[in-house]
Amino acid sequence: MSQLLATEIKVTEKKLVYTVTIPIRWGDMDAMGHVNNTVYFRFMEQARIEWLSMMGCLPDQDGNGPVIVNAHCTFKKPLKYPDQVEVCTYIGAAGRSSFETIQEMRSVNNNYAIFAEGGAKVVWVDAKTERSAPLPDEIRQKLLELKAAGKKKK
């Protein structure tokens, strides 16, 4: 299977799990008069952390927890102040120790049109060894339930 086809399959299997609206601040803009590219990653991070917190997917008492091993963003249109960005977070493929998050950033002032898309791979890490570890059963079960809920709606 080609890499492109594998990516397409992951995206088609995504399930919306969290949405948050974040105000764009004047200070988020750069000299070009639009939101600086680094701020898009902050928008995605804020939404991802809020969702992980709601799921109980935070570091445990031993410090084991989720770590981002890659993050990406495709900028379609420039966001500008004043506006609000709606960040929609989806889950994609899950593995033994990781899962994908996919995110859309939509401009509230522009009829919720998608202005950027991105995501990150989240890996569960053992704090002592600093290596990937299997996702805790509770987290894996929640991810499976979320994915199954999406399949029932089709």
The CA R_g of the chain, rounded to the nearest whole Å, is 16
Q: Domain coordinates of the chain in residue numbers?
A: 3-152
pLDDT of 48 > 90? The answer is: yes
Q: Which residue has the tokens 């890996």?
A: 123
pLDDT digits (tens, 9 = 90+) for 81-114: 999 999 999 999 899 999 999 999 999 999 999 9
Q: Determine the Cα–Cα distance for residues 140 and 144; give it in Å rounded to an integer.
A: 6
The alpha helices in 1-73, defined as continuous H runs, are: 3-12, 37-55
Residue pair 27/16 in contact by the 8 Å Cβ criterion: no
pTM of the model: 0.87
pLDDT of residue 12: 53
CATH number of 3-152: 3.10.129.10
Contacts of 46 (CB under 8 A, 6+ apart): 20, 22, 87
